[in-house]
Amino acid sequence: MSAFDCVIVGGGIVGAALADVLSADGVSVALVEARSIGAGTTACGMGHLVAMDDNAAELALTSWSVSLWRELADGLPRTVEYDACGTLWLAADDEEMAAVSAKVANYRAAGVRVEVLDSAALYEAEPALAPGLVGALRVVDDAVLYPPLAARTFALRAQARGARLMTGCPVRELRPGSVVLSNGDVLTARHIVLAAGVASPSLCPGLPISPRKGHLLITRRGAPVVHHQLVELGYLKSAHGTDGASVAFNAQPRVTGQLLLGSSRQPGDATREVDAALLERMLKRAAMFLPGLDGLQALRVWTGLRPATPDGLPLLGPHPEKPWLWLACGHEGLGITTATGSARLVADQLLGRTSAIDARPYSPARFLTASSRETAHA
């Protein structure tokens, strides 16, 4: 048996970020991953670092996390492709533009830098957009990066401080004080953190996490020149709806000269196959905003599974009925953004420190106590 202060199960970007934070605090850590670091949902994501304001808890966690990424930016390798391009939320009509004022108030109250662009300013910033858009909201400090190498960077920094990276090590069982690997080896630890994304319920039955399938496409070089991450304001309806398949326009410039295009959502779908009809819908939607995409060649199309919770917020903190188990999962499409903040929140709770934001909105107890389950079924 091998003994550690903390064993983290799941080597995606959240688990790797937590290993980085804990190892920096002198905690002995093992990071256990069934495949390779960042090879699961992390490898399938867009890599956006975005402050989102669907509710106060989401805005608190995402805005703090984006600021933590910004602090890390100068120390990230070039291969992580961190690009502080900002985000433009595009308004297709006056009704969507009217909604911008509420977003401006939310963001500014949280200390997030934003600018409102009228139509003329929008087309000066992004000439390749289709005509007819009425304006946009620019979130200045949003960024993009390449998630698998960001996760690997966190893991290697932890390893350099003495953390043990255990890749290709599926976990069979979680027990009080120990993690049993599929080969029978046992790791003992005072604290066990489950950060296995969509696989988390298989190791801890009853977690309120379900898959949401999504499609992404990356173009060959030669795509229309885009300077910001572009997102239609209609994306918010798609991202937070729960019924049926949906698509929305989201385009991300890459430092390679390519464009990464999304997005789609298929709640409850755990298959990995590309849905050709849904992909066609997604691309037609994208061409409505970027007409220069017509005829452009795709380099690759893939799908991924987002680990969704019923209220759209992650599970960050102790399991209320298993005091030896901590949770860092259920981030849906914001795991890349919130990896930094999630790691800090969980580490602060483990080490008895006060966090920069209130951890209570993300507490697993909101779903996993007897009273919360009774409320959910009432």
The pLDDT of residue 295 is 79
Q: What does the pLDDT look like over 283-319, one tens digit per residue?
A: 999 999 999 998 789 999 999 999 999 999 999 999 9
**Spatial separation of the C-alpha atoms in residues 58 and 184, rounded to whole Å:** 39
CATH topology identical between 2-45+147-209+312-377 and 87-140+210-308:
no
Tokens of 13: 């970007």
**Spatial separation of the C-alpha atoms in residues 198 and 195, rounded to whole Å:** 9
In the chain, % of residues over pLDDT 90: 90
Q: What is the mean pLDDT of residues 198-210?
A: 98
Is the pLDDT confidence value at 241 over 50? Answer: no
Cis omega (within 30 of 0) for bond into 210:
no
**Spatial separation of the C-alpha atoms in residues 91 and 114, rounded to whole Å:** 15
Domain boundaries, given as residue ranges, for the chain:
2-45+147-209+312-377, 87-140+210-308
Is the pLDDT confidence value at 237 over 70? Answer: no
- pTM of the complete model: 0.95
Q: Which pLDDT band, with edges at 50, 70 and 90, does 224 fall under?
A: confident
Tokens of 164: 């043990």
Q: Which pLDDT band, with edges at 50, 70 and 90, does 373 fall under?
A: low
Fold (CATH) for 87-140+210-308: D-Amino Acid Oxidase; Chain A, domain 2 (3.30.9)
Q: What is the mean pLDDT of residues 322-332?
A: 97
The pLDDT of residue 346 is 98
| Per-chain mean pLDDT for the chain | 94
The pLDDT of residue 244 is 84
Q: What does the pLDDT look like over 105-162, one tens digit per residue?
A: 999 999 999 999 999 999 999 999 999 999 999 999 999 999 999 999 999 999 999 9
Is the pLDDT confidence value at 326 over 50? Answer: yes
Give the dihedral sign, CA 257/217/249/14.
Answer: negative
Fold (CATH) for 2-45+147-209+312-377: FAD/NAD(P)-binding domain (3.50.50)
Q: Which pLDDT band, with edges at 50, 70 and 90, does 234 fall under?
A: confident
Q: What does the pLDDT look like over 251-285, one tens digit per residue?
A: 999 998 999 999 999 999 999 999 999 999 999 99
